[in-house]
């Protein structure tokens, strides 16, 4: 075999032969990563970059990772869904992906876990097939900080007006142009229409941890954190629930609240059509 | 003023003049510290060392920190109690310690929080006055790991027999020689008698997080982690609940289970006589 032949099995090589799409269920501690999207050459650890690099090493061909929700730096996931295209030669035709899961988890380290893996059904795309995303944002409402919740919640001193925040959250449900709560993509002037299926605040039994859950067909960039920042302003009395409605209608980002910090936010789960994912939501086995 | 005079106000100087004892309520993320006890010269960050160094800088005299429960490396606290003796000159006679709390929290960083501070009543000693300590140990019972619970729970795959573990936990209640579950202090051959007031396992609503809570007058070194390791062996069927009783009675450490990892353990609260701490337990204001 000549040197030239060897070069096509280099780590960076394009895959040779047929590919099979594999879907992955992921959980990660976002505080250990600079977001999901791979940033080649930037020297930053990202979720997609780490996963792609491990699979590239294992398969001998370049592997790109596509996910349902591109979480920002510091944002966590409990049920992120991604897909990768792996050579059939590597997969060896076996339906049991447990050895792949174990091997990935050994390489990736404890901040990123592959919870499950499946051969994807025909036509599945982790991002474009997804019909819904559910996020949770935790607010620690307490006079004192909690070092153990530092990376997973936003600490706000009481009082926060729960009733007013709930009325404001209700106003989000339905189809709206969320321009007021989005970082607008470059070179795009159109509407940022998203359909919010549910949005609500629950308070955990000890009264300290408030959980804001929101599900929508899709989210634009920084939408949940902008919404939470504004909801907290409503809770603090600096805005009213009616202001939330008028900010949403006016599409004026400058009138919203602060951007809530990334650490409070977790991508909980992703929904797909029943024919692609039985039950509609892929959850860890438990 | 001569150079010699200046040296007595050096950071390391003994306090001049009368002292007032101040009690501190602390919470910390143990994964950021090499335990509580200061380790001078070892170059390791400890809870007591960090706190003592900050107070030494602020007061200009050496400050030692005494705590109720000397947590090991990796063990967390939600309601640790400590005392320090500060010069009256520094305290300036003011009963309001809020500026001291704020200043300490600015210096200590987010992994260690001073939740509250009070002037101590006559005769108070954080360690010797304490009549009880309550610890919680979290076990994540799940086929899949959870990166967000990595530093605060012990991940064990199901099944674990909850009923057998509860029977074994019940056997701990009462006054026993806990030699089987303690790292024996050097040069001490006597009994390691402790009085366990309550010990029980509860399962959080999602079924994944099991919380073992134990309260005793005092604990010997590594007692909770040894007990949890043995309880998990009972849950796994490698020991029976009856074995727990015979291990306890025989005082034979070699027959117990593994030592459970430090990260699952949190010192929840410390109890004191009512006349020293109104209500018996000092809790954060909430």
Task: Choose the mutation target among A101, A148, A154, A205 for the interface with B, i.e. most B CBs under 10 Å.
Answer: A148
User: Does residue B112 sit at the A interface (CB-CB below 8 Å)?
Assistant: yes
Query: Residue A10: is its pLDDT beyond 80?
Result: no
Which sign, positive or negative, has the C-alpha torsion A25, A39, A46, A37? negative
**Do the domains A132-268 and A3-129 match in fold?**
yes
The pLDDT of residue B253 is: 73
What is the pLDDT averaged over residues B126-143?
A: 97
Over residues B107-118, the pLDDT tens digits come to 998 999 999 999
Q: Could you tell me which chain B residue has the CA closest to the CA of A142?
A: B286
Domain ranges of chain B: 3-129, 132-268
Q: Give the residue from B131, B113, B133, B92 showing the smallest Cα distance to B24.
A: B113
What is the pLDDT averaged over residues A216-236?
A: 96
CA distance, residue A170 to nearest chain B CA (Å): 26
Over residues B249-278, the pLDDT tens digits come to 988 777 777 899 999 999 999 999 999 999
- Contact yes or no for A154/A261 (Cβ under 8 A): yes
Distance CA B44, CA B9 (A): 26
- Contact yes or no for A253/A181 (Cβ under 8 A): yes
Which sign, positive or negative, has the C-alpha torsion A157, A162, A164, A170? positive
Enumerate the residues of chain B whose CB falls inside 8 A of the CB of residue A146.
Answer: 27, 78, 113
Over residues A155-168, the pLDDT tens digits come to 999 999 999 999 99
Of 3.40.1380.10, 3.30.70.580, 3.20.20.70, 3.40.50.300, the CATH number of B3-129 is 3.30.70.580
Distance CA B50, CA B105 (A): 11
- Contact yes or no for B86/B64 (Cβ under 8 A): no
Q: Using the beta-carbon criterion (under 8 Å), do B113 and A147 form an inter-chain contact?
A: yes
CA distance, residue B129 to nearest chain A CA (Å): 25
Q: Give the CATH fold of the B132-268 domain.
A: Alpha-Beta Plaits (3.30.70)
The pLDDT of residue B184 is: 87
Q: What is the pTM of this model?
A: 0.89
The pLDDT of residue B255 is: 76
Mean pLDDT of chain B: 92
Query: Residue A44: is its pLDDT beyond 50?
Result: yes
Q: Following CA atoms A16, A117, A221, A173 in sequence, which dihedral angle do they give, to the nearest 10 degrees?
A: 140
Over residues B136-151, the pLDDT tens digits come to 999 999 998 999 999 9
What is the pLDDT averaged over residues A2-17?
A: 54
Distance CA A140, CA A143 (A): 9
Question: 3-state class of A52 per DSSP?
Answer: helix
- Contact yes or no for B52/B65 (Cβ under 8 A): yes
Within 13 A of A227's CA, how many CA atoms are on the CB side?
32
Cα-based distances in Å from B105 to B50, B60, B113, B264: 11, 18, 6, 25
Over residues A46-74, the pLDDT tens digits come to 999 999 999 999 999 999 999 999 999 99
Quote the tokens at residue B52. 């003592």
Distance CA A69, CA A270 (A): 8
Q: How far is CA A175 from the centre of its chain?
A: 21
Which positions 119-178 of A are in contact with B (Cβ < 8 Å)? 142-148, 150, 152, 158
The pLDDT of residue B252 is: 77
Q: Using the beta-carbon criterion (under 8 Å), do A150 and B29 form an inter-chain contact?
A: yes
Distance CA A31, CA B263 (A): 18
Beta bridge partners of B48: none
Q: Could you tell me which chain A residue has the CA closest to the CA of B264?
A: A148
Concatenating the DSSP letter of every residue in A237-272 gives TSS-HHHHHHHHHHT-GGGS-PPPPGGGEEEEEEE-
The pLDDT of residue A12 is: 58
Which positions 54-73 of B are in contact with A (Cβ < 8 Å)? none
Counting residues of chain B whose pLDDT is more than 90, the rounded percentage is: 81
Q: Using the beta-carbon criterion (under 8 Å), do B284 and A112 form an inter-chain contact?
A: no
Q: Best-predicted range by mean pLDDT among A102-116, B5-19, B84-98?
A: A102-116
Q: How far is CA A128 from the centre of its chain?
A: 14
Q: Give the residue from B268, B263, B242 showing the smallest Cα distance to B139.
A: B263
CA distance, residue A263 to nearest chain B CA (Å): 11
Over residues B81-106, the pLDDT tens digits come to 999 999 999 998 777 999 999 999 99
The pLDDT of residue B7 is: 39
Beta bridge partners of A28: A77, A112
């Amino acid at each position: 075999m000549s040197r030239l032949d060897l070069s096509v099995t280099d780590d960076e090589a394009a895959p040779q032969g047929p590919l099979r799409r594999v879907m992955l269920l992921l959980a990660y501690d976002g505080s250990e990563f600079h977001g999901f999207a791979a940033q080649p050459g930037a020297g930053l650890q990202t979720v997609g970059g780490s996963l792609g690099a491990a699979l590239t090493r294992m398969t001998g061909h370049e592997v790109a990772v596509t996910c349902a929700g591109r979480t920002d730096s510091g944002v966590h996931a409990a049920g992120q869904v991604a897909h990768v295209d792996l050579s059939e030669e590597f997969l060896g035709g076996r339906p049991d992906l447990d050895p792949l899961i174990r091997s990935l988890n050994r390489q990736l380290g404890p901040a990123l876990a592959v919870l499950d893996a499946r051969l994807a059904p025909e036509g599945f795309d982790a991002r474009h097939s997804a019909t819904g995303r559910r996020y949770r944002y935790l607010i620690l409402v307490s006079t004192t900080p909690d070092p153990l919740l530092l990376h997973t919640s936003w600490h706000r001193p009481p009082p926060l007006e729960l009733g007013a925040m709930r009325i404001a959250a209700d106003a989000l449900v339905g189809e709206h142009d969320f321009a007021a709560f989005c970082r607008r993509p470059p070179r795009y002037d159109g509407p940022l229409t998203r359909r919010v299926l549910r949005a609500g605040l629950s308070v955990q039994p000890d009264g300290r941890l408030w959980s804001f859950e929101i599900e929508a067909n899709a989210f634009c960039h920084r939408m949940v954190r902008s919404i939470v920042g504004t909801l907290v302003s409503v809770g603090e009395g600096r805005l009213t629930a009616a202001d939330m409605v008028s900010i949403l209608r006016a599409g004026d980002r400058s009138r919203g609240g602060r951007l809530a910090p990334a650490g409070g936010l977790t991508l909980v789960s992703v929904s797909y059509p029943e024919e692609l994912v039985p039950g509609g939501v892929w959850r860890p086995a438990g």
